[in-house]
């Protein structure tokens, strides 16, 4: 038991949320799976199960978002960044299937509402929107970011959801190029609407 109780609780919570869903899992199920005491659980998560679920979402959203922004920062141009985010999403889901399933069940926006600012959601979307605005052609069609993001990553999320649920046997690596092509075709002539990236 080298890992501390907080890490064990987060790991157990992710495993049980993935396997059973949030409604079916009790705080005691998580505590027992983590081999943690009641006192330890409430020391780390005074709010009990809701606080623990929020911490799981915040941790994994944080991991994903840091890596996604790294992809954009390293991209050589608009097309490379758009395609890179699609490829990264699929690789990330394949590398972290339990976390991906849980986050896709909650959806990112709902998870942000639950966890407040701890996931960095506002700053993440501001950065992504700013990157799109800087990369998009000057004559590109202004499009609300609430539309641009689903055009860009929506089909990829749906494919990942199907693959993670076992409804598709094609590995993400095979689907990646097709989804990246579709994403690029969807957003290459669009830019965030004025005001979205302020």
Domain containing residue 31: CATH number: 1.10.10
The residues that bridge with 192 in the sheet, in sequence order, are 143
The domain total for the chain is: 2
Report which secondary-structure segment, H or E, holds 147: helix 145-164
- Domain residues for the domain of 2 are 1-46
The residues that bridge with 155 in the sheet, in sequence order, are none
Residues with Cβ within 8 Å of residue 11, at least 6 apart in sequence: 3, 34
Give me the pLDDT at residue 50, please.
93
Q: State the DSSP string of 48-106.
A: -HHHHHHHHHHHHHHHHHHHHHHHHHH-SSHHHHHHHHHHHHHHHHHHSHHHHHHHHHH
Domain containing residue 110: CATH number: 1.10.357.10
Each residue's pLDDT tens digit in the chain (198 positions)? 446 999 999 999 999 999 999 899 999 999 999 999 999 999 999 999 999 999 999 999 999 999 999 999 999 999 999 999 999 999 999 999 999 999 998 875 444 554 444 446 788 888 999 999 999 998 999 999 999 999 999 999 999 999 999 998 888 888 999 999 999 999 999 999 987 765
Q: Is residue 119 part of a domain?
A: yes
The number of helix segments (H) and strand segments (E) in the chain equals 10, 2
Residues 27 and 74 in one domain: no
The model's pTM is: 0.88
CA neighbours within 13 Å on the CB side: how many for 159?
26
């Amino acid at each position: 038991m080298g890992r501390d109780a907080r890490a064990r609780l987060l790991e157990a919570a992710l495993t049980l949320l993935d396997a059973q869903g949030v409604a079916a899992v009790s705080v005691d199920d998580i505590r027992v799976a983590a081999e943690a005491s009641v006192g330890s659980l409430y020391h780390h998560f005074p709010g009990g199960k809701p606080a623990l679920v929020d911490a799981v979402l915040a941790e994994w959203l944080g991991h994903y978002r840091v890596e996604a922004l790294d992809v954009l920062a390293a991209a050589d141009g608009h097309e490379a960044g758009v395609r890179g985010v699609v490829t990264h999403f699929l690789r990330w889901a394949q590398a972290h299937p339990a976390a991906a399933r849980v986050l896709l069940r909650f959806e990112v926006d709902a998870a942000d509402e639950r966890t407040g600012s701890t996931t960095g959601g506002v700053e993440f979307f501001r950065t992504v929107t700013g990157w799109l605005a800087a990369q998009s052609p000057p004559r590109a069609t202004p499009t609300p970011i609430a539309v641009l993001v689903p055009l860009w990553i929506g089909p990829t999320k749906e494919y990942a959801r199907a693959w993670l649920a076992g409804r598709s046997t094609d590995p993400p690596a095979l689907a990646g190029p097709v989804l990246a092509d579709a994403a690029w075709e969807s957003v290459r002539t669009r830019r965030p609407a004025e005001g979205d990236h302020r």
